[in-house]
Chains A and B, each alone.
Chain A
Amino acid sequence: MSRYTPLFLILHALFYMGCSHDETKKTTPSSSFTIASIDDPHTLDPRLMGDLSATTISHMLFEGLMRTNANGILEPAIANHVTISEDLKTYTFKLRPSEWSDGTPLTAEDFAETWLSTLAPNFLARNAYQLFMIKGAKQFKDGLISKKLVGVKATSPDTLVVELEHPTPYFLELTSCHFYFPVHPETRSESTDKEDAIIGNGPFKQNRWEHRSVFEVVKNPLYWDANAVHLDTITLQILDEATALQLFKAGSLSWVGSPLSTLPQDAVASLKQEGSLQILPGAGTHWFRFNTERPPFTSEKLRRAFALALDRQAIVDHVTQGNQRPAIGIIPPSFGFNHQDYYKDHDIEQAQKLFKEAVEENWESIAAMPQVTLLYAANDRNHKIAQAVQHQWNQAFNINLLIESGEQKIVTDRMRSGKYQMSVGSWYADILDPINFLEIFQSRDTPTNQTFWHNGAYTALLEKSALEQEPKNRLKTLNDAEKILMEGMPVAPLFYSAFNYLKTDKIKGVYFSPLGYLDFKQAFFDEDVQ
C-alpha cells in the first residue's frame, strides 16, 4: 500500500484541483434565454453561411435593410425608407443613422461593399447566387465585367441604390435575409485567418464562444433600437437531442427542437399528447427522388404509379407524427401558392393501373422488371420512413423492393453521380418563393436536381416567368410549369415539413421564420405566465 498510495493521492488531488475552478453558477436571471443546438455554427460570416445554427446567430448579431418582426410582418430596419421605381427595377434605400458594435458608423458603403465582396469572382460564397437578381451581378461573378457596372451603389453615406435585372417581388424580403447582411470593414478585409469573433450591427453582440459547448450573446447597447430589445443574454448550448430534451424537462433550457436541433422521434407522439409540442408548418418538402436515366424509373408511368401508391397520411400519423401534411404537390402551402391537388393520396387503384401499364409497355412482365432499391441516409427518421414505404410499395405492387441505408456522405456522393434508382430526400426553401423549388429542375445538370429529369417546355416556362412584370402572370406561368413537373414526376412528394419544438411558456415575441431561423429582437419573458 505504502508505495502506491502517494501516487493515487496525487492523481486525485490533481483532479480536484483541475475541476473545481469552473463552477458554473446557476443564477438564471429571467432575461436570460438558453436554447439547444445540435452543432456549432460553421462560420460567423453571413456571406458564407449554410447551416441553421449560423443563420439564427446571424439574426442576433446582424441586421439588414429590412426585418421581419414578431408578427411576421416585414418592416424597415437599417433602412428607414424605401422607394421603388415605376418599372419595379430600382430600389432606393434611405438608411437611418446606426453603428457597428465597436462604435464605427454604419454606412450605405458597408452594404454595397459587402454585397460586392460576395459577388467577387474569387470569393467562395455558396449563397452568391441569391444576389444574382442584382443587375450585372452574375457577369461580375463570372469575371466578365468590372465592379463598377454592378447595379448596387452607395450614392451617399445614407443612401443605397439597387438596380435589378428584372422585377423581383420578393426582393425586399431577401434584404431581410442573411445573404444581404452587411459585414464590418475588418471582416471584409480578410485580415485574419482566425474567426472566433465577429463584429455585427444587430440587437445582440457576441460574448463567449466555447467551441462545441456554448455560444453566448448579450444585448448590444449600441444597437439603434436597443430599447426594443428585452433579453439580456441568449445562450446556445450544443447538445445531443436526447440530452437536450432531458435538460429542457428539468428546466435548464428554454427551447429545444427545431430549428436548431431536433426532437427524438419516439418522443414526439407523447409530447403531442401531453399538449406541449409546438408545431409550425415549414417551408420544405420531403420526397423520393427517381433517377430518370436508370431503369426502371426511366418510365414516367412507373414513377407516377409509385407516387400514387404512397399512403402519406399513414406515414405522417404513425411515423413522423409531428403534424406534417401529406404532400400532393411540390410546393408547401405556406407559400400561399395556389395550386389544385395533383393527385389523391394513396390512390391504389390508379397506381396499380399505371403500374400494370408501365410493366407491360417496358418489360412485359413483372419478373423482367429490374429490382428496385431505395437508398437513404441513415438516421432514425429515415430508417422508419424507408421501412414503412417499403412495406407499402411491396403490398401495392406485389414486388420485392429493397432498402439500403448509407452514411450521409456516401449517399450524397452516389446521388451526385447517379448511382442510385430511388432515394429519400428533401428540399428546404431558401426564400419564400415557389421558384426556389421549381428551379431545381430547370435543367438536367442543376446540382440540386440529381434526377436528371429535364423538359424543354418546363425550362422555357421558368425562363418566361423571370421576365414577367406582372406578379399575377408570373404566378400563373409558374403554376403551368408545376403542372408539367407533376406530369413528369421526377420526384414523388411525401410530406410538407413541420417544425416541431418545445419552448417554455414564458417566452414571447420570438419570430420563427418558415425558412428556419429565429429572430429574438422583440423576445421577452412574460413573468405572469406560470
Chain B
Amino acid sequence: MIAILARKLFYACLSLIVLSMLTFVLVRIIPGDPFQQEQALPEEIYHALRHTYGLDAPIHSQYINYITNLCSLRLGPSLVYHKQDVAEIIGHSFPTSALLGGEALALAIPVGIFLGLWSAFYQHGWQNSLTHILAIIGISVPSFILGTLLQYFLAVKLQLFPIACWGSFSQTILPAISLGALPAAFIARITGANMIEELKQGYITTARAKGLPEYRIIWRHALKNILIPLLSYIGPLSAHTLTGAFIIEKIYGIPGLGYWFVNSVSNRDYPLIMGITLFYCTLLLTISLAVDALSLMIDPRLAKAAKNNRGVV
C-alpha cells in the first residue's frame, strides 16, 4: 500500500508543477494589467512599475524566478496591496475560510448522509419524497440567494443571529448553513441513489433472508460499499468548501480566502493569484491522497487491483 501511495504522491507533485506553469501563463495572457486603472497612469511610471516587479522580463525567466522563490516558500508581494506579503495574506485568511468551510462540512456531511440513508430506508415512502424536496431546495437555490435570504429573515428581521462580520461563534452559524446547504443536498442525493442501488445487490437479499433488521443492513453492511464513490465526491468538495465560498464571505463580511482570490483575479494581482491557486491545489491534492488512502483501507480489493496494475486492455 505504501508503494501505491508513494506513486500517487509523485503524480501529485508532477500535477502541481504542471498547474503552476498553466496558471502562470494563463494570468499573463489574459488582457488587463495590475497597474492600470480607470484613471490611467503616466507611461513612465507604468513601465517603471512593471520593471520593479519583474514583469517585463521574458516569461520563462519570470517563471524560473518564481519557482526559485517558491522553493524557499516565498510567494512574493502583492502587486496591488502595497508591501503585503502573499504568504501572510494566505496565512491570515485561510484559517478563517477553513473554519467556515469546516463548520459547513460538519453540518453537510452528517446531515446529507443521514438524509440519504433515511430516504433509502423508506424508499417508497413520504420520507423519500421529503428528502427529494429538501435536496432540491438545497440545489436549486444558489448560495447567494440562500445566504441573503437567511441573513434577511433570520438576522435582520427576527434578529436571531448577528447580521455579519466574523469573530464570535454565533456569527459563524448562518454562513455555515448557507454554505453547507448545497453540499448537504448533493450528498443526500448521491448517498440515497447509491444506497438504493446497493440494496438491490444479492448479499442484501441474503442478509434480509437471515432476518437482519433493515437499518442494521444499511448501516453495518451496505454503507461501507457506497463509501468509495461517496468519498470520491466528498474529497474535492471539502477542498473547495474549505477555501471559502466567495459569495458567502461577501454577504457576511468574512475576511476569507475566497474573497481575496476573486479580487486578485479582478485586479490581475499575479503573485496573489498564483499563491492562492497553488495553495488550493496543494490542499486539493493532499485531500485526494487522503481519500485514496482511506479508500484503500476501506476496500482492500482496490489495493490488490492497483498492485497488479491491471487494466482491461
Contacts and interface: CB of A to CB of B under 8 A. Distances in A.
A250 to B, nearest CB: 6
A62 to B, nearest CB: 16
A409 B31 contact: yes
Contacts of A192: 83
Interface stretch (A39-47, A274-282, A292-300): A39-47
A447 B37 contact: no
A237 interface: yes
B145 interface: no
Interface in A26-60: 39-40, 42-45, 48, 50
Interface string A440-473: 0000000110100000000000000000000000
A334 B156 CA distance: 38
B148 interface: yes
Contact of A195 (B32, B82, B251, B253): B82
Interface residues of A, number: 61
B38 A412 contact: yes
B32 A409 contact: yes
B187 interface: no
B156 A249 contact: yes
Interface in A65-119: none
A192 B172 CA distance: 36
Contacts of B81: 40, 42-43
Nearest to A448: B40
Interface in B208-226: 219
A453 B172 CA distance: 54
Nearest to B113: A4
Contacts of A247: 163-164
B201 interface: no
Interface string B139-165: 000000000100110011001000111
Q: How large is the interface on B (under 10, 10 to 19, 20 to 34, 35 or more residues)?
A: 35 or more
B32 A410 contact: yes
Contact of A407 (B80, B164, B266): B266
A238 interface: yes
Interface string B47-84: 01100100000000000000000000000010011111
A15 B102 contact: yes
Interface stretch (A169-177, A208-216, A225-233, A322-330): A208-216
B307 interface: no
Interface in A186-218: 192-195, 210-213
A237 B253 CA distance: 9
Given A249-B156, A416-B36, A22 B168 contact: yes
A23 B171 CA distance: 10
Given A212-B93, A409-B268, A250 B39 contact: no
A425 interface: yes
Interface centre among A50, A243, A247, A426 (most CB of B within 10 A): A243
A412 B99 CA distance: 37
A19 B172 contact: yes
A447 B99 CA distance: 45
Contact of B163 (A1, A252, A410, A428): A252
B279 interface: no
A126 B45 contact: yes
A412 B32 contact: yes
Interface of B: 30-33, 36-43, 45-46, 48-49, 52, 77, 80-85, 89, 92-93, 99, 102-103, 106, 110, 148, 151-152, 155-156, 159, 163-169, 172, 219, 250-253, 255, 259-260, 263, 266-268
6 contacts: A12-B106, A242-B148, A243-B252, A408-B266, A413-B31, A447-B40
List the 6 shortest-distance A-B pairs measured between CB atoms, nearest first: A409-B32, A43-B82, A195-B83, A447-B40, A19-B169, A212-B255
Given A242-B251, A410-B31, A412-B36, 18 more contacts: A11-B102, A20-B168, A23-B167, A40-B81, A126-B45, A128-B45, A194-B83, A237-B165, A240-B250, A246-B152, A246-B156, A246-B164, A249-B156, A250-B163, A252-B163, A426-B38, A447-B42, A448-B40
